[in-house]
Amino acid sequence: MRIVLFGTGNLATRLGIALKSANAGIIQVFGRNAEGASKLSSILGCPYTTSVKEIDADADFYIIAISDDAISELLSGVKVDNQIVVHTSGSVQMDVLSSFAENYGVLYPLQTLSAQREAGLKDVPLCIEANNSSTLEKIKALAGTISGNVVSIDSERRRQLHLAAVFVCNFVNHFYSIGEVLLKDQQLDFDLLKPLIRETAAKVLQFSPSSVQTGPAVRGNEAVLAMHMKMLEEYPEWKHLYELISKDISHHHN
């Protein structure tokens, strides 16, 4: 397998490392930024280029792991014959690739990736899609080398999955940040919340989240709700969120 990897960010880095560990051959890294491309190419032990014209034409897969809005512009300069082009985005329709390749598809890892933290992809759902069945089989085989959790999902459902991921990951992480700020205000250490954060996540790996909802909103404890609203006077945005989410919890459960 000969792969050209486009991109030098967190996703490109994690995918590149996973593919390399699986002995898939990454023959070239492309990145607009020479420093990033050079760094990733040295991690992966392959050459890099910053020029679309120098992209290796002799690959089996072109994997696009760059920001959503740059995909079309980048591809307009890339020439492929019948090789496979895949993008890795949760929210971009597969068909944006139709004018650039005959065989194309998607390989979307449903995970949050940060530069600070090495995260393997072995149990991460890799959501795949392709414009024909032989391409789907090839993408499935490639994805199967890096994760045991490969699922065929069309663009519409992938988009919905990505929206759900914003709630359960991005918004959740922001609420962790709010917790951290509220604790700092009282000289309390964020570490105090960690067993709670861990248990809250662990519970829903085992039970439906609706069935394990706790707290003043689901109990209808109006005195605590009113007290919390008052405590949030200094944070009008969070006060507003507190009110809306508490109402939504109450509505969802009653």
Site for a copy of itself in 184-243 (CB under 8 A): 185-188, 190, 192-201, 203-219, 221, 223-224, 227-228, 231-232, 237-238, 240-242
Backbone phi and psi for residue 5, each to the nearest 5 degrees, phi listed first: -110, 125
Instruction: Establish how many alpha carbons lie within 13 A of residue 17's alpha carbon, considering only the half-sphere containing its beta carbon.
Output: 16
- Name which of 52 and 241 has its Cβ closer to a copy of itself: 241
79 or 253, CB closer to a copy of itself?
A: 253
**Total number of residues that touch a copy of itself (CB under 8 A):** 94
Residue placing its CB nearer to a copy of itself in the complex, 79 or 247 = 247
| 33-46 residues labelled b (16+ CB within 10 A) or e (exposed) | eeebbbbbbeebeb
Residues 38-97 close enough to bind a copy of itself by CB under 8 A: 67-69, 91
Extract the runs of DSSP E, i.e. beta strands, from 131-203: 150-152
Please report, as residue ranges, which positions from 145 to 174 form the binding site for a copy of itself (by CB under 8 A). 149, 151, 153, 156-157, 159-161, 163-174
| C-beta of 57 vs 188, nearer to a copy of itself | 188
Instruction: Give min distance, CB of 181 to a copy of itself, in A.
Output: 9
Residue of 49, 113, 140, 155 that binds a copy of itself (CB under 8 A)? 113
Cα 176–chain centre separation: 18
Q: Where are the beta strands (DSSP E) in 38-179?
A: 48-49, 61-64, 84-87, 103-109, 126-130, 150-152
Nearer to a copy of itself, 39 or 159 (CB): 159
Closest separation in Å from C-beta 111 to a copy of itself: 6
Which segment (27-35, 49-57, 77-85, 119-127) binds a copy of itself by CB under 8 A? 119-127
Per DSSP, the residues of 103-153 read EEEEEEE-S---TTS----TTS-EEEEESSHHHHHHHHHHHHTT-S-EEE-
Q: Which residues pair with 152 in a beta bridge?
A: 128
**Distance between CA atoms of 37 and 135, rounded to whole angstroms?**
28
Contact pick of 116, 133, 234, 254 for a copy of itself (by CB under 8 A): 116
Least distance in Å: CB of 38 to a copy of itself? 24
HSE (side-chain half, CA atoms, 13 Å) at 154:
3
Gyration radius from the chain CA atoms: 22
CA 110, chain centre distance (Å): 5
- Calpha distance 17→2 (Å, rounded): 15
| Residue span binding a copy of itself (CB under 8 A) among the ranges 18-26, 42-50, 70-78, 121-129 | 121-129
* Smallest separation, CB 195 to a copy of itself (Å): 5
In the bound complex, what is the minimum distance in angstroms from residue 78's beta carbon to a copy of itself?
Answer: 22
33 belongs to the binding site for a copy of itself (CB under 8 A): no
What tokens does 70 get?
A: 């740059």
